[in-house]
Each structure stands twice: as structure tokens, then as C-alpha cells.
């Protein structure tokens, strides 16, 4: 009887077995979660190691972007919108440390919708990210013009600067300067190419250099500017005393 009683005392109860099973499940789950976190951390480190040395071919250091929302009823035409932008930028440029300001419809890495452009006299469209800018944007973003010229303050016609890869796709082996493209379809509005800018990354740091089409802001621009871009010497977070 004493031996049987001792064996009974040593035998684990069903409650003890249930607790041990739950503990085992929890330990296994924690181990699995730890492995997943280690794998994710490793992938993040590998990804950072790949993108940190990448040169996007524009300079984002010291640049601040902000949205500008203009009610259509108050600013119905380009002249009024442009006057508003210029007054804003005059005030912005007067802030100590600000070295430049411009307007653009989409900032880099913020939109990737493409537009079709058909070279005049051709039928095959070339696609590009549509950008509408004021003339100062290439200086503010420090994008290098490789041929042709920059935008003038008052262009006599609808004018554009395209990236080198767009020029190669639209006019292989030929200079695009002075050429024209139809917007959207072969019968669309004509836009004259006045310059070529270096290819840059606009979708993602690991997404390649998509062709871009920069039209100078004007009354006929298909995509009016709605973002302000400011370059500062002291960093965007600097607050003047």
C-alpha cells in the first residue's frame, strides 16, 4: 500500500500535463518568432547595404517638400496660380538659410504613373513620368543638364527637358534638341524639347532610372504644380532664431 501510494504521488496529474504542453507550445512559438525576426533583420541589413551607396542622380540633402492646395474658384487660371507661387517663394527665399525654391507636380518617389508622348512625325509612343516644374527646380534638386539648355523664365512655346533615356527611346542615335512630341496621342498638343537632363531615380532607390519628361509650368500644362520644394544650407529642420 505504501509503495502504491508513493507511485500515485509521483504520477503527474492531467493538469500538470496540460501545463507542460502549453509551456512547450509557447516556447516553440517564441523560438519561431525569434527566427523570423532574425531573418527579417538580416534582410533589412542586406537591403540597406544595397541602397545606401546608391546615387539617385539628384541631391535630396537639405531639401524640404510641402503641398500647396489652391482652390480652383479663387485661382481659376495659370497666371493667378503662378503669381501666388511666386509670392510664396519670395517669402520662402527671404528666410535665412534658404538657397532656392521651386514648384513641381510630383516629388521623387511619390508617384509613378506614366504618360505617353509621341514624337512628331512618328507613330510609336515613348512613355515617361510626367513632371511639371518651374525653371528653378533643376538647381534646387541639383540635377545635371547634359545637353541643350535650361528653361527660361518666359518660354515662347510649350517646352520640355527630358532625361537621356527618354531621348534614346524617342530618337535613337539622334539629338532631341528642337524636336517636338505630341502629348498622349499623335494628334495631341505639341511640346518642344529644349534640353536633356541626366537620368535619375524617381520611383525607388532599387527601381532603376525611369524616363522622365519635365515640362515647364505654363497655362497649358497638363499637370499643374502642386508641391513646393525648398533647399536650405542649414538643413530643413533648422529654425531661425
Cβ neighbours of residue 101 closer than 8 Å, sequence gap 6 or more: 89, 92, 93, 136, 140, 228, 229, 230, 231
* Res 45: pLDDT: 45
* Cα gap 16→36, rounded to integer Å: 30
* Res 11: pLDDT: 53
* Res 208: pLDDT: 74
For residue range 216-231, what is the model confidence (pLDDT) as tens digits?
Answer: 998 888 888 888 999 9
Contact 60, 203 (CB under 8 A): no
Q: Name the pTM for this structure.
A: 0.73
* Res 34: pLDDT: 63
* Cα gap 211→114, rounded to integer Å: 9
Q: Strand 159-163 vs strand 190-197: parallel, antiparallel, or unpaired?
A: parallel
* Cα gap 213→131, rounded to integer Å: 6
* Res 1: pLDDT: 46
The dihedral built from the CA positions of residue 129, 115, 106 and 222, taken in this order, carries a sign that is: positive
* Res 81: pLDDT: 80
* Res 79: pLDDT: 80
What's the grid cell of residue 110? 511619390
* Residue numbers of the chain with a pLDDT score lower than 50: 1-2, 4-8, 42-53
Residue environment code for 148-167, b if the CB has 16+ CB neighbours within 10 A, otherwise e: beebeeebeebbbbbbbbbb
Amino acid at each position: 500500500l505504501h509503495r502504491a501510494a508513493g507511485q500515485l504521488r509521483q504520477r503527474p496529474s492531467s493538469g500538470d500535463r496540460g501545463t507542460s504542453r502549453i509551456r512547450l507550445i509557447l516556447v516553440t512559438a517564441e523560438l519561431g518568432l525569434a527566427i523570423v525576426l532574425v531573418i527579417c533583420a538580416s534582410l533589412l541589413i542586406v537591403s540597406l547595404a544595397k541602397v545606401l551607396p546608391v546615387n539617385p542622380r539628384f541631391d535630396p540633402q537639405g531639401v524640404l517638400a510641402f503641398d500647396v492646395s489652391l482652390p480652383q474658384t479663387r485661382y481659376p487660371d495659370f497666371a493667378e496660380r503662378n503669381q501666388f507661387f511666386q509670392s510664396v517663394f519670395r517669402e520662402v527665399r527671404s528666410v535665412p538659410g534658404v538657397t532656392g525654391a521651386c514648384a513641381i507636380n510630383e516629388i521623387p518617389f511619390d508617384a509613378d504613373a506614366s504618360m505617353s508622348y509621341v514624337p512628331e512625325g512618328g507613330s510609336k509612343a515613348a512613355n515617361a513620368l510626367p513632371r511639371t516644374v518651374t525653371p528653378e527646380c533643376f538647381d534646387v534638386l541639383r540635377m545635371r543638364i547634359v545637353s541643350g539648355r535650361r528653361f527660361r523664365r518666359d518660354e515662347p512655346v510649350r517646352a520640355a527637358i527630358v532625361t537621356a533615356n527618354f531621348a534614346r527611346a524617342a530618337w535613337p542615335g539622334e539629338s532631341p534638341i528642337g524636336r517636338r512630341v505630341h502629348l498622349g496621342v499623335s494628334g495631341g498638343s505639341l511640346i518642344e524639347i529644349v534640353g536633356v537632363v541626366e537620368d535619375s531615380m524617381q520611383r525607388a532607390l532599387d527601381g532603376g532610372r525611369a524616363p522622365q519628361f519635365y515640362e515647364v509650368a505654363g497655362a497649358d500644362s497638363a499637370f499643374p504644380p502642386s508641391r513646393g520644394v525648398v533647399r536650405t544650407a542649414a538643413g530643413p529642420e533648422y529654425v531661425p532664431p
